């Protein structure tokens, strides 16, 4: 999930996604990492705020490569993880890559649609 910061993705959106991610996975413990984009620290902090508001413990790995975050999710047995990054997109973009246990990715076919729907309909458990 990616968008232009701050018009399409911002701290309010990240907070809601954090709450939705934890609710969808029924997660107790998640990992969060970020890249070096200027907006990544505040987006990660807002995501963490949303996740903890739903009762999850969060391990903040700070600035870390995406592959290393995925490794940490599996090795440390987290219920899921999120990397704040827009990957190869231009600097005005930011986004998130989300994985479940064992670092299996969430996608439009599984997970992202449900999280978006919970947020849009205000039906977070």
Q: H or E element: which one contains 2?
A: strand 2-4
Torsion of CA 91, 95, 98, 104, to 10 degrees: -50
Q: CATH code for 2-120?
A: 3.40.120.10
Partner residues linked to 81 by β-bridges: 31, 99
Q: What is the pLDDT of residue 123?
A: 87
Any idea where the domains of the chain sit in the sequence? 2-120
Distance from C-alpha of 119 to C-alpha of 39, rounded to nearest angstrom: 22
Mean pLDDT by 10 residues, the chain (125 residues): 97 98 98 98 99 99 99 99 97 98 94 94 86
- Verify whether residue 87 is a known catalytic residue: yes
Of the candidates 7, 39, 42, 87, the residue annotated as catalytic is 87
Distance from C-alpha of 122 to C-alpha of 124, rounded to nearest angstrom: 6
One DSSP character per residue, 77-107 reads T-SEEEEE--TTS-TTEEEEEEEEGGGPBPB
Q: H or E element: which one contains 63?
A: strand 57-63
Q: Is the pTM of this model over 0.85?
A: yes
Q: What is the pLDDT of residue 124?
A: 84
Q: What is the pLDDT of residue 125?
A: 76
């Amino acid at each position: 999930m990616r968008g232009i910061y701050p018009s399409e993705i911002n701290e309010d959106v990240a907070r809601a996604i954090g709450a939705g991610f934890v609710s969808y996975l029924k997660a107790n413990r998640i990992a969060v990492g970020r890249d070096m984009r200027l907006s990544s620290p505040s987006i990660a902090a807002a995501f963490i705020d949303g996740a903890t508001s739903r009762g999850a413990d969060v391990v903040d790995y700070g600035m870390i490569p995406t592959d290393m975050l995925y490794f940490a999710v599996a090795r440390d047995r987290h219920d899921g993880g999120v990397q704040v990054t827009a990957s190869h997109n231009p600097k005005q973009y930011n986004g998130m890559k989300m994985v479940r246990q064992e670092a299996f990715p969430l996608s439009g076919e599984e997970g992202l649609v449900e999280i978006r729907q919970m947020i849009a309909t205000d039906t977070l458990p």
